[in-house]
Amino acid sequence: MKRDRVTATELRARDERLMARCIELARQGEGHTAPNPLVGCVITDPDGDVVAEGYHRRLGGLHAEAEALAAVGGKAPGCTAYVNLEPCNHRKNRRTSPCAPALAEAGIARLVIGMGDPIRSHAGGARWLARHGVEVSRNVLRDQCADLNRAFVTWAKLGRPLVVLKAGITLDGKIATQTGQSQWITGPAARRDAHRLRHCHQAIMVGIGTVLADDPRLTVRGVRGGRDPVRIVVDSRLRTPPRALVLPQNSTSRARVIIATTQRAAAARQRRLEDAGAEVWRAGGGPEVNLTGLLGRLGNDEIISVMVEGGATLHSALLDADLADEIALYMAPFAVGGASLSWVRGRGIDALAEARRFRFDPPRQLGNDLLVVAKTRRIGR
Ligand SMILES: NC(=O)c1ccc[n+]([C@@H]2O[C@H](COP(=O)([O-])OP(=O)(O)OC[C@H]3O[C@@H](n4cnc5c(N)ncnc54)[C@H](OP(=O)(O)O)[C@@H]3O)[C@@H](O)[C@H]2O)c1
């Protein structure tokens, strides 16, 4: 199907099909590229046939465009390159050489991109290519491309990580029975998937209530090539026991552990936790950890996504402060009723109109359970 013989509708359909392939390729880098974005690239010959593919595999590795150009060899002249994110054209903090000039030098005739680079100082690659004679088409499957890189876009726009609240719940939204039994609400397939989610996020955060109740390790288990995230405990009085399994001295994981606390916490407790291998960060002089300040500092540390695994008090504090971007609930098909704990607590609202609204992704069935994901409408509000 030669380019001059395809209609605009056919070209649009082809562009969308190949951009969907870029997204699929990019996803293979999940959990390995942060703070870089997820990027996939497809190169087609002038007849529209795919001649090369590439994706950004890991931080410090080749960019997707460079990998695809290497695969296409000297046959790039006249070809079309599809990329879900605008090719870079900056030399600042560069880990690999810029992609826009590389595409032009290889002779790429047309560039199709899903979205522009949200970091203003990094954008401009597409405009540069257009000035150098490359035909540029933008915004193909833009919403899907932005959704793929929600963490990167949030971090670029707000300077803080994407915040995802996660819980395993019953049909009536409870995280335990009234006697406190909570293991296990969901089945093995859901629990396996929760480890996949841990791998996809750069950090996991819990409140001190959860550390004291469950003594979690917060590592990734059962995921091939899985990488442990940075582990964060929100603990204003440094009550984390030196024997807690999350601490490096009690764990085989080499992932960082950050205990976020306040100016008021005792220096002796800080020393004990530092001796156990944790970093202690003081966020705010009030009675509780300043969550906005903590997230800002994590953003400065190039952490672009945080999954919060409870408990209800920390979830509620983040929701109340409008700091929750996404909610991931693994829901088991039974109710427990009674006065047992819900996944969210907080001060509550009086009128439905006050509720913060999210939009659902299609639910996924995992064994007998469902994964329900709700996201804020706009990314990086
Ligand atoms: N089913 C599930 O998916 C699931 C997941 C996790 C937990 N859980 C259950 O949830 C329960 C623990 O939840 P929880 O609500 O008691 O505790 P939590 O949310 O884990 O921790 C809350 C504590 O964090 C500290 N904190 C410091 N700064 C804060 C801030 N700005 N906002 C909020 N909290 C702050 C406070 O203690 P300080 O003032 O001492 O710092 C607060 O009491 C356990 O029973 C656990 O088993 C269930």
pTM: 0.94
Looking at residues 150-169, what average pLDDT do you find? 97
Q: Give the ligand 1 atom nearest the CA of 180.
A: 45
Mean pLDDT over each residue of the chain, to the nearest integer: 94
How far is C-alpha 272 from the chain's CA centre? 32
**pLDDT score of 79 more than 70:** yes
**Which of 175, 270, 273 best tests ligand 1's pocket when mutated (most atoms within 8 Å of CB)?**
175
Pull the structure tokens for residue 2: 């030669």
**pLDDT score of 381 more than 70:** no
**Which of 182, 237, 264, 314 best tests ligand 1's pocket when mutated (most atoms within 8 Å of CB)?**
314
Catalytic residue of the set 53, 65, 86, 309: 65
The fold of 3-148 is: Cytidine Deaminase; domain 2 (3.40.140)
Q: How far is the CA of 126 from the centre of ligand 1 (A)?
A: 46
Alpha carbons 81 and 65: distance in angstroms, whole number: 8
CATH 3.40.140.10 in the chain, residue ranges: 3-148
Per-residue pLDDT tens for 178-228?
Answer: 998 888 999 999 999 999 999 999 999 999 999 999 999 999 999 888 999
326 is annotated as an active-site residue:
no
**Residue-by-residue DSSP string for 222-280:** S-TT--PPEEEEE-TT----TT-TTSGGG-S--S-EEEEE-TTS-HHHHHHHHHTT-EE
Q: How far is the CA of 310 from the centre of ligand 1 (A)?
A: 6
Which residue's CA lies nearest to atom 33 of ligand 1? Answer: 314
Which residue's CA lies nearest to atom 45 of ligand 1? Answer: 213
Q: How far is the CA of 378 from the centre of ligand 1 (A)?
A: 28
Looking at residues 117-140, what average pLDDT do you find? 93
**pLDDT score of 38 more than 80:** yes
Superfamily of domain 157-375: Dihydrofolate Reductase, subunit A (3.40.430.10)
Over its C-alpha atoms, the chain yields an Rg (Å, rounded) of 23
Which residue's CA lies nearest to atom 1 of ligand 1? Answer: 175
**pLDDT score of 57 more than 80:** yes
Q: What is the pLDDT of residue 284?
A: 87
Q: Pocket around ligand 1: residues whose beta carbon is below 6 Å from it?
A: 167-168, 175-176, 182, 185, 206-210, 213-214, 234-237, 239, 288-289, 291, 309-314, 317, 341
223: left (phi over 0), alpha (psi -120 to 50) or beta: beta
CATH 3.40.430.10 in the chain, residue ranges: 157-375
